[in-house]
Amino acid sequence: MSANLFQLGGHSLTAMRILIRLRKEFNIKLDIQIFMKDLSILSITGLVATSQHDLTLPNNIDSISVSKNAEIQAQQVLSAEASTIFNLTADFPSRFLIVKVSEELHYLSIVLHHICTDGWSMGIIEKELSIAYNSDLDSQDPRLWPLSVRYRDYSMWGKTKQNTTKVEDQLQYQEKHLKGVAPLELPSDFLRPEELSCNWDEVTFDISASCIEMIQNLALKNTTSLFSVLLTAFRTTLY
């Protein structure tokens, strides 16, 4: 209970994740300098019990001010926030964090789960956020195009499609062609765990210039992309 986080093998990123999580869970103000002085369970529990509620921002937007070694701490906070895993059973699929370095410098962190956005949408979000921010600086209303179709409209369209015979025909087609197909058994030197850890690693290797030229020529000959050729080769190797 009284052991410090750093004594237990933790590091600054872990501390930042704990700080962010506490602020979100209890909607309280926690001073980062006081928090970092004693990272024991007893000390943190006392801070949570005596902290004031933060009512300045909506529940899904958090804010943190840094002062000592401000730029370094700001980057640590941003890194911790970006690498924190979503708990979709309890959290929103989006997180917003404002990190205040000084009166003139603030960082805005926007972390979105892929369940609520995609690469195409990110460009729209960035563009409209920039328009809204600059309009606010000029004390003007942002002129954004109204949405003609919302996601709820797409959802309702999908539900109506589910009730058609076309979907049932597609399901029967897939069941017919996939009947008897066994899961792919990859040749590996270890047993795959029932639950994946999501840990990963990189394996680097070199491809000769002549080999790349042959693959590119094959792609051009078949009017396809280099990715498609490599993906075909990969699937051929598996089967």
pLDDT digits (tens, 9 = 90+) for 12-24: 667 777 777 777 7
Other residues' Cβ atoms within 10 Å of the Cβ of residue 64: 23
Residue 190 forms part of a structural domain: no
Residue 188 forms part of a structural domain: no
Distance of CA 66 to the CA centre of its chain: 24
Residue 194 forms part of a structural domain: no
Of 113, 139, 167, which one is at a domain's C-terminal end? 113
Taking 70 as the threshold, does the pLDDT of residue 238 lie above it?
yes
Residue 104 forms part of a structural domain: yes
Residue 99 forms part of a structural domain: yes
119/5 Cα distance (integer angstroms): 37
Task: Report the pLDDT value the prediction gives residue 6, as an integer from 0 to 100.
Answer: 65
Residue 195 forms part of a structural domain: no
Taken in order 166, 167, 168, 171, the sign of the CA dihedral is positive
Of 85, 113, 141, which one is at a domain's C-terminal end? 113
Q: Which domain holds residue 58?
A: 12-113
CB-based contact 33:68 (threshold 8 Å) = yes
Task: Report the pLDDT value the prediction gives residue 59, as an integer from 0 to 100.
Answer: 54
- Long-range Cβ pairs for the range 27-30 (8 Å, 24+): 27/53, 27/54, 27/55, 27/59, 28/52, 28/53, 28/54, 29/53, 29/54
| Residue 1 tokens, joined | 């209970």
Q: How many CA atoms lie within 13 A of 109 on its CB side?
A: 23
Of 113, 133, 150, which one is at a domain's C-terminal end? 113
70/27 Cα distance (integer angstroms): 23
- The residues that bridge with 106 in the sheet, in sequence order, are 100
Residue 216 forms part of a structural domain: yes
Rounded to two decimals, what is the model's pTM? 0.51
pLDDT digits (tens, 9 = 90+) for 53-79: 554 555 567 778 877 678 888 888 898
Tally of structural domains, the chain: 2
11/7 Cα distance (integer angstroms): 9
pLDDT digits (tens, 9 = 90+) for 119-131: 888 888 888 999 9
pLDDT digits (tens, 9 = 90+) for 167-210: 788 888 989 888 888 877 777 788 878 888 878 888 898 989 99
Other residues' Cβ atoms within 10 Å of the Cβ of residue 76: 19
Residue 168 forms part of a structural domain: no
